[in-house]
Amino acid sequence: MRQSNIMPGFRQTLGFTLFYLALVVLIPLSTLILMSFKLSLSAYLDIITNTRVLAAFRVSFGAALLAAAIASTFGFVIAWVLVRYPFFGKKIVDALIDLPFALPTAVAGIVMATIFQPSGFIGKLLMDNLGIQVAYRPLGIVVALIFISIPFVVRTVEPVLKEFDSSMEEAASSLGATRLQVFNKIILPNIFPSALTGFALAFARGVGEYGSVIFIAGNQPYVSEIVPLLIITKLEQYEYEAATAIALTMLLVSFLLLLVINLLNRWMRQRSGQL
């Protein structure tokens, strides 16, 4: 007797999924790779080793990594507060977390550039009291990326905290464990895989972000120029080969970093399952 599928229409849904994947992901990526074949290896290396290109890569990936790390820390704190503590206006705060998802990134960039510029409300305070300039510096890029990436961390960690069995914390406390020991030995191992996933999502969003960064970065070559802007600049100058080479390099580096993070995440989940 033929066993029926659990999900009806499996072949149709699988076919639609593969068609969507090919149309939206594989075909554009394959086009990018085929375009890069027009370049010789020496020409490709000359493009990506240009000092301006290397500086843009340092800014983009450095700011994305730093912003993802900061967003992971504060995102976990926000998720912890939302899950563990009742307070007035909790639903409003919970809704505001998703604001970067709905708000156009260009609008966010304009607002942040306005308040963080040297004559802005927050920017003037930081400049006068601490001598720190945020807007038109790499620091401004980090601030913008933190704003748009925190929701990824919060929404990834929050469900895990909701399903976490608090009785393990109570048992550890009854056995004399301190709060720090409870966090390091019980809470952190359970939420670390989801926190790492949130970090990967935040980093991936930050690397390719353009709208919220372009207004606050200053876009100074060798200082605060990001890779997406450099690609657009090359396209506007009809340097399609250079734009293709830079985009391909960015794609490969991003893929390798995300692969390492996902492998580490998988290893952590297997390790926590064995324990």
Whether residues 27 and 57 fall in one domain? no
Whether residues 57 and 183 fall in one domain? yes
Whether residues 94 and 202 fall in one domain? yes
pLDDT digit string (tens) for 7-60?
Answer: 566 677 777 788 877 777 777 777 777 777 778 888 888 988 999 999 999 999
pLDDT > 70 in the chain, percent: 93
- Domain with 134, as residue range(s), is 40-274
pTM: 0.82
Whether residues 46 and 94 fall in one domain? yes
Residue 2 lies in a domain: no
Whether residues 136 and 224 fall in one domain? yes
Whether residues 110 and 145 fall in one domain? yes
Whether residues 23 and 55 fall in one domain? no
Nearest alpha-carbon partner for 106 in 217, 207, 250, 236: 217
Using CA atoms, how far residue 231 sits from 64, 219, 238, 242, 249, in Å, is 17, 13, 11, 8, 11
Residue 1 lies in a domain: no
pLDDT score of 268: 67
Whether residues 132 and 177 fall in one domain? yes
Query: DSSP letters of 15-75?
Result: HHHHHHHIIIIIHHHHHHHHHHTTS-HHHHHHHHTSHHHHHHHHHHHHHHHHHHHHHHHHH
